[in-house]
Amino acid sequence: MASVAGRVRTDDDGVVEWLRAGLRERAFGALLDRYEAKVYRLCCAMLRDATLAQDVAQESWVRVWRALDGYDGRASFSTWIYTIARNRCRTALERRRAQQAVIDAEATADDVAATADAPTADDRAAALRRLVDQLPERYRLALTLYYYEERSVGEVAELLALPEGTVKVTLHRARAALRGMLQHQGMNDVRQWLEELP
């Protein structure tokens, strides 16, 4: 863990050096190489809409580009960039909520009604995904990012700016909640599902 932190610090220092040398595009390119996929996955997890996630990720990177000269080094680049991305996602969510509050409410009611029945073998993955979507937001986000980031609690903690212990507890509660929902939906027999999965 310490070596990883040290490597990140060194990488950040390299980018800072490029910025000091006026090599803004090179510094931005290095940051893009390092964090592009993570920022995109964070946006996907928060927004649940690939098109909107792409737009918001792009917006976040444009903000990073514009603010790069003013980067003061108080936080690591990853923390800084993830904070920008999270804030852009929250703004996008608020905008979407304000625009489609009534429509969303109706759609959610329809989804709940549709998932009340036990899923067929054909849509079991979609059904599980829908159950994940029905988890409380903090559970859903932590759980989604955990699998997006190859089961790295540390990465999830950094993306969400939470302590690792909090993430572990949240993941545990998310799994428990999901297990409860599976039992309630009569979808507890995962073995059968796994055999049928492609």
Partner 1 sequence: MSDNELDAELAQVLQPPRVPADFRARLTAAITAVDAAAQAAATARLQREYESQCGALAADHRRRQRLAIAALVVGGLLAVSIAQALLPWLRLGFGSYASLVLTFGVLAAGVGFTLNWPSPLVPWLE
Question: What residues make contact with partner 1 under the rule CB under 8 A?
Answer: 32, 36-37, 40-41, 44, 50, 53-54, 57-58, 61-62, 65-66, 125, 128-129, 132, 143-144, 147-151, 175, 178-179, 182, 188-191, 193-194, 197
Query: Can you list the positions of beta strands (E) in 50-100?
Result: none
Instruction: Extract the tokens encoding 172.
Output: 């545990």
Report, in Å, the least distance between residue 120 CB and partner 1. 16
Q: Which is nearer to partner 1, 106 or 193 (CB)?
A: 193
One-letter amino acid for residue 31 of the chain: L
How many alpha carbons lie under 13 Å from residue 124 in its C-beta half-sphere?
17
Q: Which is nearer to partner 1, 53 or 153 (CB)?
A: 53
Report, in Å, the least distance between residue 158 CB and partner 1. 16
Report, in Å, the least distance between residue 175 CB and partner 1. 6
DSSP string for residues in 99-165: HHHHHHHHHHHHHHHHHTSPPPSTTHHHHHHHHHHHS-HHHHHHHHHHHHTTT-HHHHHHHHT--HH
User: What is the number of other CB atoms lying within 10 angstroms of the CB of residue 129?
Assistant: 13
Q: Which is nearer to partner 1, 109 or 183 (CB)?
A: 183
Report, in Å, the least distance between residue 53 CB and partner 1. 8
Q: Which is nearer to partner 1, 6 or 22 (CB)?
A: 22
Per-residue CA distances from 131 to 106, 126, 194 (Å): 17, 9, 17
Q: Which is nearer to partner 1, 91 or 101 (CB)?
A: 91
Report, in Å, the least distance between residue 5 CB and partner 1. 23
